[in-house]
């Protein structure tokens, strides 16, 4: 595959640029294909090699606001400082409801509203280090609450609104959450497990009806009414926790990844360099803040730069997405390969039925970005898609396609200035270019995970060889220093960019009365990257029917999450297990992919 020599950019002001409603798709397509050869505009980072050689993270601290004595608060940097730097009346959030109604909140609005709910949280007894969870769809209160939690020095726990009772319970129990902020639509999922949560003191319901609420439950509106619009941000040590986000590993329940206020240094620099955000940008991150991308690059990062953020509550649909870009004149877009594949499937006509003239920079994350999607995007949007690699644990983008660098389609790019990444063998020895191995990073970047919530052992596994952070991914580096993703080194499933642990799905499956054993794997899928496939053993006398399998899928979806249910279920008489009784997912995968089964000497004898 040929290199795209220059990060091409369509000159959208060109008279021949396609107009909205242009019906002659092929003519327009040709027009856009010509336009992409125009040179790149000035980017926030212009010379990668030079920055890579000279940059260090202490330089970045100069762009962050600190209190006396080196104290800080990430929320102060994201919101409060814009009250004094001329951005007070600038739109911070374009919140687009599921009904497509747009609500605009300025930095002043976010400041005041987060202060009010922050004061209310304090009155409820929230103290530094307490866990306060946010279980909301993408509505303004999700943003004001998350900022408020950080302001009072508590730890924000983002929860994806599609989570079911099992997913909620695992996270709320493990973290000993004190408060959860939700809405009337999502609350029943919480009510279903409420008696299992002894540490949960209060429930706050956005848009709730007071008459419907029980003891220790409040409406958000009654709490903020009469609260002061002023609140001093808690002055935190940079190493104090900011947010706690659960993510899946290969074994056991989801683990709580702890991030700290100092992360904002990394959020800021990556939003500047990788997202290339500037003051006049209207930026849309399609990820939900229930995932790390939505928390870091949907809230803290872009706001640290003072950019206007778009939040869309509605579901994916090509025409709605493009209309949103046109309506709000979105300039910078951060999305996921699965979404782009779905847009590609949606066809070119729907693209050309929209202007998309405002777009100037596209970035993606979460799974491998296929070269054909990149090429298609280049053709129809007139812009290359800049892939980025990072993880919940890394807390910020680490391997990236910067606007100033050429793109090799299919590659994740190069390490950000300030980051040293390498490919090593099992012993931590660096491998030469072209050799596949473990993707590792030199510890010490600002947003690196600081702790796995009450699980020291798990935390240590990431740093099992001194001097390296082990990502759990396999990759290869080429002669020119570009990194290429190979796959996960463990059983973690990546479906449509969502990280799913097989153990969680297996646990939900065996809660169903008909299922006695379950083994879950990721199965390659053209659109979603992987889909979840379950192998199950049914209970004695249970008859396998299509209806039953459908019911088991629905059950898992309801209990766990809409993205985490098995799209395929295969019934087996028995499942292969190790002598210690662990289901051998590796073997299930080999069966599924018709691969050699390798060493099965650990299989149980029967």
398 touches ligand WT7 (CB under 6 A): no
Q: How far is the CB of 387 from ligand WT7 (least distance, A)?
A: 5
**Nearest CB to ligand WT7, comparing residues 259 and 272:** 259
Q: Which pairing describes strands 202-205 and 179-182: parallel, antiparallel, or unpaired? A: parallel
Q: What token pair was written down for 42?
A: 């000035």
In degrees rounded to 5, what are phi and psi of residue 509? -65, -45
Return the residue of 389, 469, 535, 555 that touches ligand WT7, per CB under 6 A: 389
368 touches ligand WT7 (CB under 6 A): yes
Enumerate the H helices of 346-388 as residue ranges: 348-352, 371-381
**Nearest CB to ligand WT7, comparing residues 147 and 441:** 441
The one segment of 74-82, 124-132, 375-383, 390-398 that binds ligand WT7 by CB under 6 A:
390-398
The one segment of 71-79, 316-324, 338-346, 388-396 that binds ligand WT7 by CB under 6 A:
388-396
Q: Which pairing describes strands 437-441 and 469-477: parallel, antiparallel, or unpaired? A: antiparallel
- Quick one: 40 exposed, middle or buried, by C-beta within 10 A (0-12, 13-18, 19+)? middle
| Distance of alpha carbon 474 from alpha carbon 438, whole angstroms | 5
The count of other CB atoms within 10 Å of the CB of residue 240 is 20
- Classified as helix, coil or strand, 207 is coil
**Nearest CB to ligand WT7, comparing residues 202 and 291:** 291
Q: How far is the CB of 460 from ligand WT7 (least distance, A)?
A: 18
**Nearest CB to ligand WT7, comparing residues 71 and 375:** 375
Q: How far is the CB of 244 from ligand WT7 (least distance, A)?
A: 14
The one segment of 225-233, 351-359, 364-372, 593-601 that binds ligand WT7 by CB under 6 A:
364-372
The count of other CB atoms within 10 Å of the CB of residue 527 is 12
The one segment of 28-36, 421-429, 469-477, 575-583 that binds ligand WT7 by CB under 6 A:
469-477
Instruction: Give the residues across from 505 on adjacent strands.
Output: none
Closest of 343, 372, 397, 302 to residue 91, by C-alpha: 302
| Distance of alpha carbon 210 from alpha carbon 36, whole angstroms | 56
Tokens 């890394």 belong to residue: 394
Q: How far is the CB of 332 from ligand WT7 (least distance, A)?
A: 17
**Are residues 235 and 266 in contact, defined by beta-carbon separation less than 8 angstroms?**
no
Q: How far is the CB of 182 from ligand WT7 (least distance, A)?
A: 23
The one segment of 40-48, 425-433, 468-476, 512-520 that binds ligand WT7 by CB under 6 A:
468-476
485 touches ligand WT7 (CB under 6 A): yes
Return the residue of 387, 491, 504, 506 that touches ligand WT7, per CB under 6 A: 387
367 touches ligand WT7 (CB under 6 A): yes
Q: Which of residues 495-534 bind ligand WT7 (CB under 6 A)?
A: 499
Q: 25-35 and 371-381 helices cross at what angle (nearest 10)? A: 100
392 touches ligand WT7 (CB under 6 A): yes
Residue 57 belongs to what H/E stretch? helix 57-61
Q: How far is the CB of 439 from ligand WT7 (least distance, A)?
A: 8
Residue 27 belongs to what H/E stretch? helix 25-35
Proportion of the chain in helix, strand, coil states, percent, rounded to 5: 30, 25, 45
Closest of 286, 236, 263, 523 to residue 396, by C-alpha: 263
Q: Which of residues 229-248 bind ligand WT7 (CB under 6 A)?
A: 247
**Are residues 358 and 329 in contact, defined by beta-carbon separation less than 8 angstroms?**
yes
**Nearest CB to ligand WT7, comparing residues 110 and 343:** 343
Q: How far is the CB of 497 from ligand WT7 (least distance, A)?
A: 6
Return the residue of 203, 309, 332, 412 that touches ligand WT7, per CB under 6 A: 412
Tokens 């691969």 belong to residue: 595
473 touches ligand WT7 (CB under 6 A): yes
Enumerate the H helices of 25-82 as residue ranges: 25-35, 48-54, 57-61, 74-78
292 touches ligand WT7 (CB under 6 A): yes
Q: How far is the CB of 113 from ligand WT7 (least distance, A)?
A: 28
| Distance of alpha carbon 482 from alpha carbon 82, whole angstroms | 37
The count of other CB atoms within 10 Å of the CB of residue 103 is 13
**Nearest CB to ligand WT7, comparing residues 74 and 569:** 74
Q: How far is the CB of 287 from ligand WT7 (least distance, A)?
A: 7
Return the residue of 252, 346, 371, 472 that touches ligand WT7, per CB under 6 A: 472
**Are residues 156 and 125 in contact, defined by beta-carbon separation less than 8 angstroms?**
no
Return the residue of 73, 106, 183, 293 that touches ligand WT7, per CB under 6 A: 293
The one segment of 154-162, 366-374, 448-456, 561-569 that binds ligand WT7 by CB under 6 A:
366-374
Q: How far is the CB of 498 from ligand WT7 (least distance, A)?
A: 7
- Classified as helix, coil or strand, 199 is coil
The one segment of 145-153, 382-390, 443-451, 462-470 that binds ligand WT7 by CB under 6 A:
382-390
Residues in the interface with ligand WT7 (CB under 6 A) total 21
**Nearest CB to ligand WT7, comparing residues 369 and 380:** 369
Residue 191 belongs to what H/E stretch? helix 187-191
| Distance of alpha carbon 503 from alpha carbon 506, whole angstroms | 5
Q: How many CA atoms lie within 13 A of 275 on its CB side?
A: 38
410 touches ligand WT7 (CB under 6 A): no
Q: How far is the CB of 412 from ligand WT7 (least distance, A)?
A: 5
Return the residue of 94, 390, 503, 565 that touches ligand WT7, per CB under 6 A: 390
The contact set with ligand WT7 (CB under 6 A) reads: 247, 292-293, 365-368, 387-392, 412, 471-473, 485, 488, 494, 499
């Amino acid at each position: 595959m040929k290199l795209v020599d220059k990060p091409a950019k369509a000159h959208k002001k060109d008279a021949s640029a396609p107009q909205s409603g242009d019906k002659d798709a092929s003519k327009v397509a040709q027009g856009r294909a010509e336009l992409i050869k125009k040179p790149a505009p000035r980017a926030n980072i212009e010379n990668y090699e030079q920055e890579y050689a000279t940059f260090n993270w202490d330089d970045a601290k100069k762009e962050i606001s600190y209190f006396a004595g080196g104290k800080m608060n990430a929320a102060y940097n994201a919101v409060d400082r814009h009250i004094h730097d001329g951005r007070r009346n600038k739109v911070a959030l374009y919140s687009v409801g599921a009904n497509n109604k747009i609500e605009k909140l300025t930095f002043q609005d976010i400041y005041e509203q987060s202060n009010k709910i922050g004061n209310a949280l304090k009155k409820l007894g929230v103290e530094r280090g307490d866990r306060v969870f946010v279980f909301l769809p993408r509505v303004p209160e999700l943003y004001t609450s998350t900022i408020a939690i950080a302001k009072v020095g508590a730890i924000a726990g983002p929860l994806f609104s599609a989570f079911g009772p099992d997913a909620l319970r695992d996270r709320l129990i493990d973290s000993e959450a004190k408060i959860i902020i939700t809405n009337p639509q999502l609350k029943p999922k919480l009510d279903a497990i409420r008696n299992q949560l002894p540490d949960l003191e209060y429930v706050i319901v956005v848009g709730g009806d007071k008459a419907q609420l029980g003891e220790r439950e409040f409406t958000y509106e009654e709490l903020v009414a009469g609260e002061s619009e002023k609140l001093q941000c808690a002055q935190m040590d940079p190493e104090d926790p900011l947010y706690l986000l659960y993510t899946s590993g290969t074994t056991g329940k989801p683990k709580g990844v702890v991030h700290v206020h100092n992360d904002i240094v990394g959020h800021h620099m990556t939003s500047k360099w990788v997202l290339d955000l500037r003051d006049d940008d209207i930026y849309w991150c399609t990820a939900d803040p229930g995932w790390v991308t939505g928390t870091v690059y949907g809230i803290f990062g872009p706001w640290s730069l003072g950019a206007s953020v778009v939040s869309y509550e509605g579901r994916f649909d090509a025409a709605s997405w493009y209309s949103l870009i046109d309506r709000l004149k979105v300039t910078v877009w951060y999305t996921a390969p699965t979404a782009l594949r779905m847009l590609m499937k949606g066809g070119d006509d729907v693209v050309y039925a929209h202007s998309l003239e405002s777009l100037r920079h596209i970035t993606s994350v979460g799974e491998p970005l296929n070269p054909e999607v990149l090429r298609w995007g280049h053709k129809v949007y007139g812009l290359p898609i800049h892939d980025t690699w990072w993880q919940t644990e890394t807390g910020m983008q680490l391997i990236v396609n910067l606007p100033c660098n050429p793109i090799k389609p299919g590659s994740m790019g190069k390490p950000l200035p300030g980051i040293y990444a390498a490919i090593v063998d099992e012993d931590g020895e660096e491998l030469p270019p072209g050799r596949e191995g473990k993707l590792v990073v030199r510890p010490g970047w600002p947003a690196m995970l600081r702790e796995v919530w009450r699980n020291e052992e798990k935390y240590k596994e990431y740093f099992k060889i001194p001097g390296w952070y082990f990502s759990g991914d396999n990759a290869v580096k080429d002669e020119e220093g570009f990194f290429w993703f190979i796959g996960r080194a463990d059983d973690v499933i990546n479906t449509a960019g969502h990280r799913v642990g097989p153990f969680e799905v297996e646990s939900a499956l065996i809660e169903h009365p008909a299922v006695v054993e379950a083994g879950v794997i990721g199965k390659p899928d053209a659109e979603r990257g992987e889909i979840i496939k379950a192998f199950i053993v049914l209970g004695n006398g249970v008859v396998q029917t299509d209806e039953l399998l459908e019911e088991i899928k629905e059950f898992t979806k309801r209990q766990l999450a809409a993205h985490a249910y098995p799209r395929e279920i295969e019934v087996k008489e028995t499942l292969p297990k190790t002598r210690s009784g662990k289901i051998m997912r590796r073997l299930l995968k080999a069966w599924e992919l018709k691969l050699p089964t390798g060493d099965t000497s650990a299989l149980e004898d029967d």
